[in-house]
Structure 1
Amino acid sequence: MSKQDHLYEKTIASQSIYEGRIIKLKVDDVLLPNGNTAKREIVNHPGAVAVLALTDDNKLVAVRQFRKPLEQTIVEIPAGKLEAGEEPLTCAMRELEEETGYVASHYEPLSAFYTSPGFADELLHVFVATGLTKGESKPDEDEFVDTLELTLEEARELHKNGEIRDAKTVVALFAWENKLLREQLKG
């Protein structure tokens, strides 16, 4: 018996509610550790990647995009969902080029985290991309974005004024700032 067994919720029934192009929604009946039952609404997601792309002159490559659930335009780092069987690095390379036109010569894993573990199983892989070369963007037919190059100060200001609000981009900004601080301490 592991230390966490006393927290486990056993699924006793599961009902599929919706299956879309990106997500699936189900409702599970679970047996709680105390013997009671509860319902859990769960979003299944194939996973995604995000790219903290930094130019040679230390600018962040970002995109401005309208997000329907928010009914507003926000600034984000390039990102996209994993296709079936696709490796995260392959997806990161594809998404960076599709959304921004940039191709990177070096990718380094930064982090992987669950975006909303209270109701979704989406695992987001974040990569740092450097050695960038500018090319032509090739967005999906239903994707409309503006590509931006931002200094850290400009990105901070966009975060402060609410244009950068999504978790992946906020995490990336903190990681970028941390990277710069570590470099200053070394140098």
Structure 2
Amino acid sequence: MKSRLSSLFLVLFASVSLFACIDEDSTYQSILLRDIEAIDAYIAENPIDAVQEFHDDDAGFHIFWESVSNSGDTAQYLDTLKTDYIGMLLTNKVFDTSIDSVAIANDIYNSNRNYVPIQFLQGNNSLIYGFQLGVSMMAEGDVATVIMPSAFAYGTGGSNDGSVPSNSPIIFKIDFVELKKATQ
């Protein structure tokens, strides 16, 4: 009997200790809620003129179209896309771009890099999820601003180069330049 009580106490103690170590402020849900609050505040302080909008308020994901091409040419899995982009934090600090004049103006120019539209295969996970999701909702020729929570971007680790801190919602201004359909 004493052995059972000891075992039960040990299991109870281990459970309490385990749950006491979990920081409520670093759970996925709490990070998402903070991101959504920050995104909503950004949008309120920085209204975006849009001809079309998409909002998933539960996920904190927003797209504001500056222009809609009406081409109807949307990307499917493994289509090749070219996009120009500007990546920013919610402070409007540019952390990455495919446009040399934007890189120069924001003091992030790298002479070892080619500033041309980025080319990628849709859905092959070579880019952050939120970027590919945003482009998947655009058509060739569209220009849009995509705002996403950190879980859709660089998550808890931040970017490898440190330009995007951990748990940072981000913005991409995307110009969907070209679409080449995958061969069937």
Shorter-chain TM band: under 0.3
Larger Rg: 2
Structure-1-length-normalised TM-score: 0.27
1 or 2, which has the higher helix percentage? 2
Structure-2-length-normalised TM-score: 0.27
1 or 2, which has the higher strand percentage? 1
